[in-house]
A and B are shown apart, each in its own frame.
Chain A
Amino acid sequence: MTANDLSALMPLIVLAGSAVLIMLLIAMKFSHRSIQISSLMLFVLSFLAVFQLQKPLPYFIDPLFVIDDFSTFMTGLIIFSSLIVNIISYLYFEGKEESPKEYYVLLFLCTLGGCVLTVSNHFISLFLGLEVLTVGLYALIAYLRARYHNIEAGIKYLVLAAFSSAFLLFGMALIYFQLGTMNFSAMTVKLATVPSLPPLFLTGFGLMLIGIGFKLAVVPFHMWTADVYQGAPTPVTAFIATVSKGGVFAVLIRFFMAIDGFRFQALMLVLIAIAIASMIIGNLLALQQKNIKRLLAYSSIAHLGYLLVAFIPGNAMSIPAISFYLAAYFATTLTAFGIITILSGKENDMENINNYKALFWDHPVLACIFSTALLSLAGIPLTAGFIGKFYILSAGIKTGFWVLALVLVLSSVLGLYYYLRIITTLFSGQQSPSSQEKKVQPVFYLISSIVLSVLTLLILWVGIYPSGLMQLIEHFQIR
């Protein structure tokens, strides 16, 4: 390893080191607050490390990693999301029955796993990253282990994730057997001359798709989502919705671009079917949910479907569109879950839709933030979600995928219905007279509110003036 390699991998190294450091701090019996603050500093440090990456990119660290614009962007996005999750976690875990300190170690490890996924260029690094992420999540999801829903969610996730990893491994083995390499770049060379896919490769890829489909929770591999979203502690849910899905999606793109899967019609048909099914079924299932976490779980299925609409055409606009949409989606999802976290009490999460009645008259600022996040998820102008949807539709229509564009539009009308339902709830009812209860942690409550307000302003800013972000991502290409 040369000095250049080290500097290129610096964000990952900082994350790995932070996990160890925090473990040491815990051993020295520091308080929750000091551990939270030091982990916040370390997240900031690793986020800054993303910016010191030297050009020229792409930079290959053979055979495992490749660092290019897209991976840097995704790494930054993932670390940023973890940073936000870290901030809102204090409020959530302080005062809960479990000691919250080890939580931060796991958070660093999961983030590391997500970042490894974005830079991996090889089956081994893909699998290692995925397992670091997933194993950390098993513990995070079941963190409040005395609670019924947490344990249920943890076990469900454990069984299904292990199961899907097995599929993934078997698929990789078959592909390796056919091509004799596990490096993406080497696969590109081997497949370049093949007119049609070899059957073993196709089988292997199918198995891999099942594994990845489980992690992304696209239809028909979505069954676990709602239960896990509901059961996990809310900051962890936010983490699953952003980091875990973003990382896996990034590696899926890289792999697919490497084998240039767009040439093969059978593969595309499968993906198109998955995209359409995810958009329609995700939105349909969300319609009747009374629990906000479950509702957001189903809506995340639909959003993954939207992302596939940008991905399937595989044209010059795809990667920028996906990057933009992911950025908007991350900010929005974090904001929404952040609000749920802030409002949650010691015993129960604020997850029932009826709890949100008259929120606008009781907490106008929080309600405005929440409405903005929901409107952005619904893709209404003035928010980042609208520009994101515009980008995705452009990518789809540019190559003439009319059916996908139409399904996207019609299913997002369905989506609108349930987002509006929440917003209507926020505004319905009367102000409760005794709304001024004392906050247990006024300082962290204030900090979390400010962070979420800043995120909201970011969503609005990107929605009104997207040129800045667009210029950054416009030329992202893989290879």
Chain B
Amino acid sequence: MRASSPVISIAQLQKTFYVPEREAGLRAATRNLFRRQNREVKAVDDITFEVAPGEMVGFLGPNGAGKTTTLKMLSGLLYPTGGEISVLSYIPSRRQRDFLRQITLVMGQRNQLAWDIPALDSFELNRAVYQIPRPDFDQTVAELIELLDLEAIVRKPVRNLSLGERMKVEIAGSLLHRPQVLFLDEPTIGLDVTMQRRIRNFIAEYNHRHGATVLLTSHYMADVVALCRRVIVIHHGKILYDGELSGLVDKFSALKTIVLTVPDSSIDLSMFGEVTSREPSRVTLRVPRADTSRVTAQVLASLPVSDLTVEDPPIEEVIEHVFAQGPEQAA
């Protein structure tokens, strides 16, 4: 097998849902019994991309963008309506055993472990399900306990754990079979900031140690920024951007921010650009990207500036702006 063959390969993938339309009233209900009236919802509309082994890719998109649907198709839970999809050279929807043994799907706040017994006992069941040899299993469990700091909680019934602790044992449980591909759907949702950071660190460490391919969806920018160099932005089922995180702002933001340190900030700077904030000795300007160097030169030439920095607007803002657009405006 060539070293560079992609782990995940998606071409012109489509997924259309048929959502039943319900009307009120008895007659409509009876009609509904025999002939369902359906509305078409295109959750995934012709997306194409590839993922190389060991890559960590972030899926960004607002709710309903198609991220979770894509992950479910990648893990074999949903059948695509059109297009091709291949993971580890398997067709996911065939759901072959050997395929299922090499992947894992973690959905935030979905429970896989049994509620009323210690996580360690549920791990035992996963061992049997995935047919993990005993020595490998013991080693993996020890490693996960160490990496995720589970020693104190892994023998308590899952229902007695806090939300963050539960998420940790759930993740541990889903990695017992050392999958090569990790699909993580909103893994940090609902957790506090400290726990989010811990889980992010864990994922990074896991990828580093085992070279697992990670596909991560989130609508927390922090997750994606911390873990992924490559980002795929999805909106209304279409890919808006696929590339480096740093390039994201370049592509979507038409603006740059210039922060000036000046002795008197009350001067009028409107000829240079839009003033977004004014503090005693600092002014923040927003200028069109194309004008950045011209404005910078002009400002330096005409004002007593002691410090000047050129920044990108915060990624969150950029993304928000992108998501706020309708499907027609999607690039």
A binds B: no
